[in-house]
Amino acid sequence: MNDPQLDPVPPLVNPHALRWITEQVRLTTPDRVVWCDGSVAERDRFQEQAVSEGILIRLDQEKLPGCYLHRSQPNDVARVEGLTYICTRSEEDAGPTNNWAEPRAMYQRLAGLCTGGMRGRTLYVVPYLMGPAGSTMARVGIELTDSLYVVLNMRIMTRMGNVAWEHLGDRDDFNRGLHCLLDINPERRLICHFPQDNTIISVGSGYGGNALLGKKCLALRIGSYLGRREGWLAEHMLILGVESPDGEKTYVAAAFPSACGKTNFAMLIPPARYKGWKIWTVGEDIAWMRPGADGRLYAINPEAGYFGVAPGTNAGTNPNAMRTIARDTLFTNVAHTPENTVWWEGHDDPPPANCTDWQGRPWTPQSGEKAAHPNSRFTAPMTNNPSLAPEAFDPEGVPISALIFGGRRASTIPLVYEAFNWVHGVYVGATMGSETTAAAAGAVGQVRRDPMAMLPFCGYNMGWYFRHWLNLRKRMKQPPRIFQVNWFRKDATGRFLWPGFGENMRVLKWIVDRCHGRVGAWETPLGWVPRTQDFDLDGLEGFSGADFETVQSINIEEWRREVLSQDELFMRIYSYLPKEMIFQRELLVARL
């Protein structure tokens, strides 16, 4: 295939990839095609170029070596669930909780938008690997994008470059991702998934989960679809290892909706009294898990970097993150200080007397607006993380002993409880609710059902997804125990009942002890809860056993309302709902 624009084609590119890339180049007609190799020299070149094109601001290289600031368009600062589509042949495959579009019509519409869409621009070919090199669970994607910002983010978030071509070999099972900025117009913004073709087309947005196609689009939406077909799970979960003083390592995976503290939890530093305990981060957003030959569930982190929420991140809430983002980090939509550094609400530094806000406008503490966007982000390589687990590079992944579901709930949900068994745990995950956050466009702070924190990310029918979870049980001899947590319960005055952050170690400790059968529990209508004497409150200033009982309390009235509000989701997907979910609901009602 001799397309002058494409030459010279790197020798590692296989004919399937070349054919598809050639088609997309002909469609979008960029002026130039650049094949990314993932090298450091290339990154340095791209950063130079991005600075000269005004895409990035180079920050003070003494204070923040390798760090840059990017401002996205003010109308393009979060995922847009309303413009995100699952385009399966039948509407039923996408299910009642996804926006669905008929694939042929959607391909046509997108082709219309993309035709000549890169004229005058450069198309970057970004080959990337999700998962450790050499892992049978890893997947290759190719993202074609006209955003240099996306290229630089993908280089951090994935294993980008030749490693992907090498992993792919001569196969054609790579994810096809086309990303066109167009005019970054919400009117012409669409994030479309074609799971049956392993294809993603995203237009009109340059931000985060809309544009970094390896993340939510491939690793979760397409991933979950493939997982159902192939017998594994793609989950919105962090993965961490708990090491005890005698060297025992226990791995847990935990699902929380976007902007509910996954990154903080994954990088937790145990409080001083936990001498000899250590938390190791395997992943902080996404887990790919499959039953292993030994009957346990094994997880890998498909990503290589962290796309974390900046506001609220400081040396108190997440010291490891502060070290991670001290170099080689791209900041997006944070405030820019006169010292050429960055700042956000909840930063360790006091608010600057004046600075430039996330929209590039002058800002002072009197402005009465936030200097950083609430969904402003850092993109940092995981290798910067002082608590990075060496197992993050293990192609086999880590065996998971516990799965944790957590939402952001001001009431009702206790700090921690353990489900009675796998099926009950699936019900607990399926009925999870959480208050909406700034990570997605729309109202903030409303409770919505977000099953397994996957509502915006499940690439197929949610009812079948629950069925898939239930079925997996049969392939595990030793399934993980399942827990629900809630760090966000408040008292009547709106004060958080639990200190959270590093103190979550105490919850983790109980969970780990449960996994090893070392600690008792009380049976309640919800599940097993820690006996007060088994839950470590030592050294927790100003927090008494009575406070623990308050944060653990089960209010029957609130739970009646909770069950009714769960029905909202169940009604939506009723015709696909596994009957086990209904039975679990009935059992819960009976216990209440």
Residues with active-site annotation: 260
List beta partners, residue 306: 380
What is the maximum span of the chain, computed from C-alpha positions, in angstroms?
A: 75
Q: Which stretch binds Mn ion (CB under 5 A): 22-30, 219-227, 285-293, 329-337?
A: 285-293
In angstroms, the CA 24 to CA 30 distance is 10
**352 binds, options Mn ion, ligand SAT, none, Cβ within 5 to 8 A by partner type:** none
Q: How far is the CB of 307 from ligand SAT (least distance, A)?
A: 5
CB 161 within 8 A of CB 424: no
CB 335 within 8 A of CB 358: yes
Q: Which of 192, 238, 197 is nearest to 217 (CA)?
A: 192
Q: Which of 111, 138, 100 is nearest to 28 (CA)?
A: 111
Q: Which stretch binds ligand SAT (CB under 6 A): 36-44, 167-175, 207-215, 530-538?
A: 207-215
Does 209 interact with ligand SAT (rule: CB under 6 A)? yes
Q: How far is the CB of 379 from ligand SAT (least distance, A)?
A: 10
**79 binds, options Mn ion, ligand SAT, none, Cβ within 5 to 8 A by partner type:** ligand SAT
Q: How far is the CB of 258 from ligand SAT (least distance, A)?
A: 3
Binder of Mn ion out of 84, 258, 263, 318 (CB under 5 A):
258
Q: How far is the CB of 192 from Mn ion (least distance, A)?
A: 20
Q: What is the dihedral of CA 108, 112, 118, 120, to 10 degrees?
A: 160
Q: How far is the CB of 309 from ligand SAT (least distance, A)?
A: 8
Please give the single-letter amino acid code of residue 453: A
Token pair listed for 445: 């702070």
Residue 162, helix vs strand vs coil? helix
For tokens 């219309």, the residue is 112
Of the pair 76, 328, the CB lying nearest ligand SAT is at 76
Of the pair 205, 258, the CB lying nearest Mn ion is at 258
**215 binds, options Mn ion, ligand SAT, none, Cβ within 5 to 8 A by partner type:** ligand SAT
CA dihedral for 69, 70, 76, 78, sign (positive or negative): negative
In angstroms, the CA 329 to CA 67 distance is 5
Q: Which of 484, 548, 485, 482 is nearest to 515 (CA)?
A: 482
**307 binds, options ligand SAT, Mn ion, none, Cβ within 5 to 8 A by partner type:** ligand SAT
In angstroms, the CA 198 to CA 170 distance is 17
Of the pair 76, 93, the CB lying nearest Mn ion is at 76
CB 46 within 8 A of CB 153: no
Return all residues near 248 (Cβ < 8 A) that are at least 6 apart: 516
Of the pair 24, 379, the CB lying nearest Mn ion is at 379
Of the pair 237, 297, the CB lying nearest ligand SAT is at 237
Give the phi and the psi of residue 273 in degrees, each rounded to 5: -70, -10
Tell me the per-residue interface mask from 292 to 311 with ligand SAT, x by CB under 6 A, - otherwise. ---------------x----
Other CB atoms within 10 A of residue 507 CB:
23
**566 binds, options ligand SAT, Mn ion, none, Cβ within 5 to 8 A by partner type:** none
In angstroms, the CA 327 to CA 61 distance is 9
Q: How far is the CB of 27 from ligand SAT (least distance, A)?
A: 26
**408 binds, options Mn ion, ligand SAT, none, Cβ within 5 to 8 A by partner type:** none
Binder of ligand SAT out of 71, 139, 159, 216 (CB under 6 A):
216
Does 258 interact with ligand SAT (rule: CB under 6 A)? yes
Does 135 interact with ligand SAT (rule: CB under 6 A)? no
Residues 65-84 that bind ligand SAT (CB under 6 A): 79
Does 562 interact with Mn ion (rule: CB under 5 A)? no
Q: How far is the CB of 46 from Mn ion (least distance, A)?
A: 25
The H or E element containing residue 293 is: none
Q: How far is the CB of 376 from ligand SAT (least distance, A)?
A: 11
Of the pair 374, 479, the CB lying nearest ligand SAT is at 374
Of the pair 209, 406, the CB lying nearest ligand SAT is at 209
Q: What is the DSSP letter of 88?
A: -
Other CB atoms within 10 A of residue 332 CB:
25
Binder of Mn ion out of 76, 285, 391, 503 (CB under 5 A):
285
Binder of ligand SAT out of 70, 215, 506, 514 (CB under 6 A):
215
Token pair listed for 256: 């929380």
Q: Which stretch binds ligand SAT (CB under 6 A): 113-121, 176-184, 209-217, 533-541?
A: 209-217
Of the pair 307, 535, the CB lying nearest ligand SAT is at 307
For tokens 């025992």, the residue is 248
**98 binds, options Mn ion, ligand SAT, none, Cβ within 5 to 8 A by partner type:** none
Binder of ligand SAT out of 208, 451, 459, 479 (CB under 6 A):
208
Alpha carbon of residue 252 to chain centroid: 16
Q: How far is the CB of 378 from ligand SAT (least distance, A)?
A: 12
**397 binds, options ligand SAT, Mn ion, none, Cβ within 5 to 8 A by partner type:** none
Q: How far is the CB of 195 from ligand SAT (least distance, A)?
A: 18
Of the pair 28, 263, the CB lying nearest Mn ion is at 263
Token pair listed for 438: 């700034």
Give the phi and the psi of residue 143 in degrees, each rounded to 5: -110, 125
In angstroms, the CA 222 to CA 224 distance is 6
In angstroms, the CA 127 to CA 144 distance is 9
Helix ranges restricted to H, 454-503: 462-472
Does 439 interact with ligand SAT (rule: CB under 6 A)? yes
Alpha carbon of residue 283 to chain centroid: 9
CB 372 within 8 A of CB 343: yes
Does 146 interact with Mn ion (rule: CB under 5 A)? no
Q: What is the DSSP letter of 215?
A: I
Tell me the per-residue interface mask from 159 to 198 with ligand SAT, x by CB under 6 A, - otherwise. ----------------------------------------
Of the pair 121, 216, the CB lying nearest Mn ion is at 216
CB 109 within 8 A of CB 371: no
Q: How do 233-235 and 287-291 pair as beta strands? A: antiparallel
Catalog residues that contact Mn ion under the rule CB under 5 A: 258, 285
Catalog residues that contact ligand SAT under the rule CB under 6 A: 79, 208-209, 215-216, 258, 307, 439
